[in-house]
């Protein structure tokens, strides 16, 4: 222990760390974060740019971005927000965006990444390419990239795709892993594994706005000889694509569909 007269004894242990992130556009940054529910605690654009925003106990500060920064690369800056459970946060931000824009900003930039039951993280990607990552405190400390060593063949590829999708936010890599595995193992894999792989690939096709692949994958999924109890067992995974479409859909479209059903 430090002695009563040492410098360390004067440290209270109540520090607060606030990220200072690059900002390409003050207007776009303020619009996005305020739409999410953040409040502006400080705002200055001249003689230099400085923004401070807060949501509950999350503080984010922004300064002028360097001239060479490309928001499209989406590696401008970042912040980890550790929480007990991520789903409520994702739900609150989803509802806020839908209230502001009539839809969820689930693609492009800015956006909120999608969430599936069991996930332990999601991201807010802002107009400047900053990544605000909400992480559940009890998520696994180690991940088996390439898929669990306890699995083989198509099942292992499905697990690898899950990790690439949920922890790396790399839909393209996840889709590529499933495409390769389906070509290599699909013919001999159990029908349940084929269904899981195709359903996961279909959800990725929707996320990447790949209509042609989506149509083909739907046909493949419908043609699989799954028994009723197998479809019940896989209901969550088989419905992931439809769930994503509903999440991405705007409120006007949803209302129109309801009216058409009543007509």
**Same domain, residue pair 105 and 183:** no
Prediction pTM value: 0.84
Residue 188 and residue 240 in one domain: yes
- Mark whether 124 and 25 lie in a shared domain: yes
**Same domain, yes or no: 81 and 173:** no
Does 98 fall in a domain? yes
Confidence of residue 206 (pLDDT cuts 50, 70, 90): very high
Q: Does residue 214 register a pLDDT over 80? A: yes
pLDDT surpasses 70 at 16:
yes
Are residue 130 and residue 33 in the same domain, yes or no?
yes
Residue 2: pLDDT band with limits 50, 70, 90: low
Tell me: do 157 and 126 sit in the same domain. Answer: no
In total, how many domains does the chain have? Answer: 2
User: What's the pLDDT tens digit per position in 222-239?
Assistant: 999 999 999 999 999 999
Single residue among 106, 136, 166 that ends a domain in this structure? 136
- C-alpha 214/C-alpha 12 separation (Å) is 56
> Residue 107 pLDDT > 80, yes or no?
yes
Render 18-81 in DSSP notation, one character per residue. Answer: --EEEES-HHHHHHHHHHHT-EEEEEE-SSS-EEEEEETTEEEEEEEPPTT--GGG--S-EEEE
Within a domain: residue 116?
A: yes
What angle do the packed helices 191-207 and 171-185 form, to 10 degrees?
A: 150
The reply to whether 253 falls in a domain is no
Question: Does a structural domain hold residue 244?
Answer: yes
What pLDDT sits at residue 262?
A: 46
Last residue of a domain, one of 77, 109, 136: 136
Residue ending a domain, among 94, 109, 136, is 136
pLDDT digits (tens, 9 = 90+) for 57-80: 999 999 999 999 999 999 999 999
Query: 12 lies in a domain?
Result: no
- Residue 180 domain-assigned (yes or no): yes
pLDDT digits (tens, 9 = 90+) for 83-98: 999 999 999 999 999 9
Please give the Cα distance from 102 to 38 (Å, whole number): 18
- Compute the mean pLDDT over every residue in the chain, rounded to the nearest whole number: 90
Which pLDDT value is given to residue 251? 57
Confidence (pLDDT) at 6: 72
Rounded Cα distance, 128 and 68, in Å: 12
11: in domain: no
Domain at 59, CATH number:
3.10.180.10
Residues 112 and 163 in one domain: no
List, in sequence order, the alpha helices (H) in 77-152. Answer: 87-101
What band does 184 get if pLDDT is binned at 50, 70 and 90? Answer: very high
Give the range of the structural domain holding residue 116, as residue numbers without chain letter: 20-136
Kindly indicate the confidence band of residue 4, based on its pLDDT and cuts at 50, 70 and 90.
low
Average pLDDT over residues 204-215: 93
């Amino acid at each position: 222990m430090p002695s009563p007269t040492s410098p360390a004894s004067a440290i209270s242990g109540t520090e607060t760390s606030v990220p200072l992130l690059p900002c390409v556009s003050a207007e776009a940054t303020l619009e996005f974060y305020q739409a999410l529910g953040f409040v502006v605690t400080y705002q200055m654009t001249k003689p230099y740019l400085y923004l401070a925003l807060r949501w509950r106990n999350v503080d984010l500060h922004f300064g002028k971005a360097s001239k060479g920064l490309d928001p499209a690369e989406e590696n401008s800056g970042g912040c980890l927000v550790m929480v007990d459970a991520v789903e409520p946060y994702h739900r609150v931000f989803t509802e806020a965006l839908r209230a502001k824009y009539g839809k969820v900003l689930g693609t492009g930039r800015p956006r909120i990444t999608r969430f599936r039951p069991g996930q332990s993280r999601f991201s807010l990607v802002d107009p400047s390419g900053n990544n605000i990552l909400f992480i559940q405190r009890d998520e696994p400390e180690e991940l088996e990239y390439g898929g669990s060593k306890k699995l083989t063949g198509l099942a292992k590829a499905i697990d690898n795709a899950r990790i690439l999708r949920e922890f790396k936010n790399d839909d393209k890599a996840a889709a590529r892993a499933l495409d390769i595995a389906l070509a290599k193992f699909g013919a001999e894999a159990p029908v349940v594994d084929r269904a899981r792989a195709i359903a996961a690939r279909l959800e990725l096709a929707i996320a990447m706005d790949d209509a042609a692949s989506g149509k083909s994958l739907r046909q493949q999924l419908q043609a699989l000889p799954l028994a009723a109890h197998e479809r019940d067992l896989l209901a969550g995974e088989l419905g992931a694509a439809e769930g994503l479409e509903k999440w991405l859909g705007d409120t006007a479209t949803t209302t129109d569909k309801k009216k058409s059903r009543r007509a």
